[in-house]
Amino acid sequence: MRVLILAASVFAAMSPLAANAQSGSDASGGDLVKRGKYLAIAGDCSSCHAENFSGGEKIESPIGAIYAPNITPDEKTGIGDMTEAEFEGALRRGKSDTWLYPAMSYTHYTGLTDADVKALWAYFKQVKPVENDVPETDLGFPFVRPAMMGWNTLFLDKGHPPGAVDVSGDQLQRGRYLVETLEHCSSCHSPRGTLMQEDTSKHLAGGALNGWYAPNLTPSDKGGLGDWSEADIVAYLSKGRNAHAVAGGEMGLVVSRSTSKLSSDDLTAIAKYLKAVKPVDTQPEASGPDGQATLDLAALEVPNGDWQSVVGHDTTDGATLYQGACATCHGMNGQGTAAPALSKISDVSATNAANVVQVIAHGINMPNDARHVAMPGFQRTMSDAQIASVASYVRTNFGGVDGEVTQGSVANILSGKQQVSWIIANAAQLAWAAIAVAVLLVLALIGWAVMRTRRRA
Amino acid sequence: MADFDADVIVVGSGSLGGLAAQQIAQAGHSVIVLEAGPDIPDWKITENWRNSPRKNNFNDPFGDVPYAPNSFTPGYVDPHLTGGLDVFPGTLRVLGGTSRHWTAATWRLLPEDMAMHSTYGIAEDWPISYDDLEPFYTQAEYEIGVNGQKGFDESGLGKGETYPPRSKPYPLPPEAKPYATQRLQQQVASMGFRVDIAPSSRLSQPYDNRPACIGNNICNWNCPIGAKHSGYHVVQKIRDLGVEIRTQAIVDKIETGDKGKITALSYINPEGDRTRLTAKMFVIAAHGYETPKLLLMNDLANSSDMVGRRLMIHPTIDMTWLSPEPYWTGRGQNIHGAIMQRRALPDRDKVPSTRYDLLNAPPEEGIAQGLLKDGTLGPELDAKIRDHSARVFTAEALTEDLPDPANRIKVNSSWKDAVGLPGIKLTYKLSDYTKANLPRLMEDYARFLQATGGTRVSAPEKFICQQHVMGTTVMGSKAEEAVCDADLRCFDHENLFLVTTGVMPTAGGVNPTLTGMALAIRAGQTIAKEL
């Protein structure tokens, strides 16, 4: 089965990517750097390598912390002594002087054109060198770097990002290049398979990321962006919000750092491409939130009692918590005032409660140039049980979602722990068991041979 | 570390104590912050405020906590007020301190405010100059997020340039001028008045993970979205730095050893259980009331006999009037406009520095009370509340008072709270200096009425005061005359620092909080350096 998928994607990879190669090829030095800078923004390099590219950002992966290296041209701690060939290898083949972990999106950047690799190289050679010695990543046995050779054999499809769809026409191909190669959307928005590879059968159909749900981006009417127009997609990527959603968490930062800085032509190309990928149905959003909580103000606003009741704050009544913490901006009935109407936010009516819980807990901080969006988080002043009550209240009353959020699920979501396959979770034991079996087999063979020799004798 | 419970113990979790703790913790030292009051989250305060029938009591949403009484607790402050004053400044004990319900006015003092003696020949000079404090003002502004006008001459003298001088611009652009202040500006301009935007820590843009102000108009009570700075924000930040915060920890005993060094302090919890803690350095940041009270209870830092004395409270006189046209106050921030032309006049040796604040709090409650008193009822009452709310305007004149050792706070042992600790006796006499301001204030108020064609609703007759407490643990350059030095270190105890607006030798004509914050940051850095 795996071989089939590989074969299919190799076939797809043979389709002309060359259409994207023309831009930048005739660029002079300054233009090349300028182009490299744009590509670094579109590739969102700073999401892991920090704003000044000096690295050190800790990437929490389900198998341990991975530290993004310093990619400034610093001689001692950066890429000052790297060759262009090694740089190209890191980007497109996951190997410079050693093997990279696929937290670096080389399975996507493998689609980069030669010209764009050159532009990126020109750009990174001239960013300000910063001395920053980044900790060595240590994931422990069996996730040692050479093991990535095997992983790459299975999952790195040179020249072709996973799941990319064959499209024709310059605009769609540009859209594909942006979505699949540079912005590497599916690294978060596709579910992962047994060995943490992207599940290309559900390409862009939504994935889990450190306790957040990266939604289904396919044009499905059931759970996807079927009801988003191209203009909606462009608005979201440029401003971080539209009539359906507000970008929070990691996506809020992606918008601030990367998509809000793309040209409108590129954003339109992305929107067109996302409309062209195969729709994959997931769990649909609730259809019709009535959007109105039945408020009994007389019951809610009881004159304050004794000092203990004034000081006490352990209530888990969703309505009380909502009125105290949320209603000032989102309105008594979730109708929105300074902040969006909750019934219009897709995450509120989503089946998956992860993002509602995350936003209640951590708020939103999206320092977008156009308009900074900020919502305070409540994890410091509410217990998991209280966050669960608010989430349930909001989802039930404004999202029309049937399904209580429990204290346990809040704890689970906020822990950020990602589900991994049984094989990954037990990789060390399995690897040792495999070695033990091999040793036993060898011993058995020797024993058998000895017996046979003796019998013969 | 094994020898001490922490490098530094800070008593009081308000903005000032929090900012000092932040400086110390950022330098890598261990800090324990002790707070007598409880922890109540902002969302609960919002609920409590909505459900409180006593909207004019800022402390009501925080509860009348018997083990941590506040200025509204009957008997806790025993006032002896003379000279025509019958109110005194408030205080609150809760995690985050009294700035849980401040207006967020963030004024700097002028250089001359800190050099009253050499400039005007009255009161005295501070042991540090404005230039010494300037970098810390800037740090405080960037820490809490302050908005203000570019090129603002805060002296009101029309210097035509930024004054006082600043090393960096305000971190945030000013709030928009609401219609009311724009209209008033048009009306009073010909009389030589200028309506400026008061600098404040209500965010005009998102800053430091806090959203921008959306005009809920209940700043004074509790900003329901955290757009206004509060000591509660600092508490969250220092927790992230690893500072240990203990609430319901009521400090009452401080122990001294060799050469007056503080060796330990101890606190009781509401049940009366006692805990003793040791540290290398100690900070008391317990407001201008509690700090001197704690020192007096332990007979500390008082070789100068200045602890609790020289109380200053910013006497204030306000006027409310109705204009023929609507101003639509009561939207946006509680105070947004200020008239500075009386702040730094050359006759300050005879007449106090004054600033007019243009109030913008929800006016309906006061209006309804007045109408009910006049017997207005039924549909007429509703209609008049609406009409008057649109046309009402209130200005208040905040005035500088001078330090007088006779104005003081003392321990009141005849009153005990639930854990057996004493109350406060407060003595204050409105001075002739303050009253010398009246002719000028009356003239100005008459001109406001004339310019707006308004009729008075409440006459400017009686002085009230601000929620500001200054002077009670004064800083100075001589041990015989002051409690602490320019670094806020007690002359009598080399490892005891006082972080409160109580250290201010003179009061200036503006809200003291930002000055207190700058001093707190400065003291925190001094402590961090010495550890």
Whether pLDDT at A15 is above 70: no
Catalytic residues of B: 468
Beta-carbon separation of A382 and B44 below 8 A: no
Taking CB atoms and an 8 Å limit, are B38 and A323 in contact across chains? no
**What's residue A285's pLDDT?**
67
Closest-CA distance of chain A to residue B17, Å = 20
A303 and B51 in contact by Cβ < 8 A? yes
- Say whether both B282 and B306 belong to one domain: yes
B209/A376 CB distance under 8 A: yes
Q: Please list, in sequence order, all residues whose beta carbon lies within 8 angstroms of the beta carbon of residue B78, skipping any fewer than 6 positions away.
A: B412, B415, B423, B424, B425, B426
**CB distance A310–B212 less than 8 Å?**
no
Q: Which residues of B touch A329 (CB under 8 A)?
A: 211, 214, 225
- What's the whole-model pTM score? 0.86
pLDDT at A456: 64
Measured in angstroms, the CA of B38 and the nearest CA of chain A are apart by 7
Residue A369 pLDDT exceeds 90: no
- Classify the phi-psi angles of A416: left when phi > 0, otherwise alpha if psi is within -120 to 50, otherwise beta: left
**Sign, Cα dihedral of A375, A378, A381, A387:** positive
Instruction: State residue B218's pLDDT score.
Output: 87
Minimal Cβ distance to B210: which of A304, A324, A374: A374
| CATH number, domain A297-366+376-415, options 3.40.50.1820, 3.40.50.720, 1.10.260.40, 1.10.760.10 | 1.10.760.10
Residue of A nearest to B207 (CA): A374
Q: Are B40 and B130 found together in one domain?
A: yes
In this prediction, residue A22 carries a pLDDT of 39
- For the cut 50, the answer to whether the pLDDT of residue A26 exceeds it is no
pLDDT for A429 equals: 80
CA B8 to chain A, closest CA, distance in angstroms equals 24
Task: Report the pLDDT value the prediction gives residue A416, as an integer from 0 to 100.
Answer: 82
Burial (CB < 10 A; 0-12, 13-18, 19+), residue B431, is middle
pLDDT score recorded for residue A60: 79
Taking alpha carbons only, the member of B523, B529, B527, B528 closest to residue B16 is B523
Chain B residues with beta carbon closer than 8 angstroms to that of A324? 43-44, 46-47
Side-chain-side CA neighbours of A95 within 13 Å: the count stands at: 13
Instruction: Return the pLDDT at B191.
Output: 92
Co-location of B324 and B389 in the same domain: yes
Reply yes or no on whether the pLDDT at A12 is more than 60: no
CA R_g for chain B: 22
Q: Which residues of B make CB contacts under 8 Å with A?
A: 38, 40-44, 46-48, 50-53, 60-66, 205-206, 209-212, 214, 216, 224-226, 236, 239
Note whether A6 and A158 are within 8 A (CB).
no
Residues B211 and B172 in one domain: yes
Q: What's the pLDDT at A7?
A: 36
**Distance (Å) from the C-alpha of residue B519 to the closest C-alpha of chain A?**
28
Query: Measured between alpha carbons, how far is A310 from B94 in angstroms, rounded to an integer?
Result: 12
One-letter amino acid at A279 equals P
CB pair distance less than 8 Å for A328 and B216: yes
- Do A374 and B62 lie within an 8 Å CB cutoff? no
CB contact under 8 A, B62 and A382: no
Query: Could A372 and B205 be called an inter-chain contact, meaning their C-beta atoms sit closer than 8 Å?
Result: yes
Could you say which of A323, A325, A376 has the minimum Cβ distance to residue B211? A376
φ, ψ of residue B393 in degrees (nearest 5)? -145, 140
Residue A2's CB is within 10 A of a number of other CB atoms, namely: 12
**Interchain CB distance below 8 Å, A303 and B225:** no
**CATH code at position B328:** 3.30.410
- How many domains does chain B fold into? 2
Per-residue pLDDT tens, chain B, 531 aa: give them: 458 999 999 999 999 999 999 999 999 999 999 999 999 999 999 999 999 988 888 999 999 999 999 999 999 999 999 999 989 999 999 999 999 999 999 999 999 999 999 999 999 999 999 999 999 999 999 999 999 999 999 999 999 999 999 999 999 999 888 899 999 999 999 999 999 999 999 999 999 889 999 888 888 889 999 999 999 999 999 999 999 999 999 999 999 999 999 999 999 999 999 999 999 999 999 999 999 999 999 999 999 999 999 999 999 999 999 999 999 998 778 888 999 999 999 999 999 999 999 998 888 888 999 999 999 999 999 999 999 999 999 999 999 999 999 999 999 999 999 999 999 999 999 999 999 999 999 999 999 999 999 999 887 888 999 999 999 999 999 999 999 999 999 999 999 999 999 999 999 999 999 999 999 999 999 999 999
Kindly state the percentage of chain A with pLDDT values over 70: 89
Tell me, what's the pLDDT at B176?
83
Residues of A in contact with B65 (CB under 8 A): 307, 311
Range of the domain at B155: 150-223+315-399+430-465
pLDDT class of A102 with cuts at 50, 70, 90? confident
Nearest to A307 among B63, B205, B239 (CB): B63
Report whether B497 contacts B484 (CB < 8 A).
yes
Contact predicate B225/B232, CB 8 Å: no
Same domain, B181 and B300: no
Using the predicted structure, report yes or no on whether residue A422 has a pLDDT greater than 80: no
- Mutation site for B-interface testing, chosen from A310, A322, A387 by largest number of B Cβ within 10 Å: A310
B136 and B278 both lie in a single domain: yes
CA distance to partner chain A, nearest, from residue B214 (Å) = 7
Q: B185 and B89 share a domain?
A: no
A-chain residues within 8 Å CB-CB of B62? 310-311
Find the closest chain A residue to B49 by CA distance. Answer: A304
Q: What pLDDT is stored for residue B175 in this prediction?
A: 84
Q: Which residues in chain B are closer than 8 Å to A363, comparing Cβ atoms?
A: 209
Domain check: are B20 and B135 in the same one? yes
Distances (CA, A) of B133 to B129, B403, B511, B515, B519: 7, 21, 16, 8, 7
Structural domain spans, chain A: 2-160, 297-366+376-415, 426-456
Q: B389 and B414 share a domain?
A: no
- Residues in chain B within 8 Å Cβ distance of A361: none
Examine the domain organization and report whether B93 and B236 are in the same domain.
yes
Which range, of A385-399, A413-427, B210-224, averages the lowest pLDDT?
A: A413-427
Whole-number pLDDT of residue B266: 98
Output the domain CATH number for residue B302: 3.50.50.60
| pLDDT bucket at A151, cuts 50 / 70 / 90 | confident
> b vs e for A267-290, b when ≥16 Cβ sit within 10 Å of the residue's Cβ?
bbbbbbbbbbbebbebebbbeebe
Chain A partners within 8 Å of B172 (Cβ): none
Cβ–Cβ below 8 Å for A376 and B212: no
Instruction: Pull the structure tokens for residue B342.
Output: 């009386």
Give CA A277 to chain center in angstroms. Answer: 18
Q: pLDDT band for A17, please (50, 70, 90 cuts).
A: very low
Contact list in A for residue B239 (CB cut-off 8 A) is: 380
Banded model confidence at residue A5, pLDDT cuts 50, 70, 90: very low
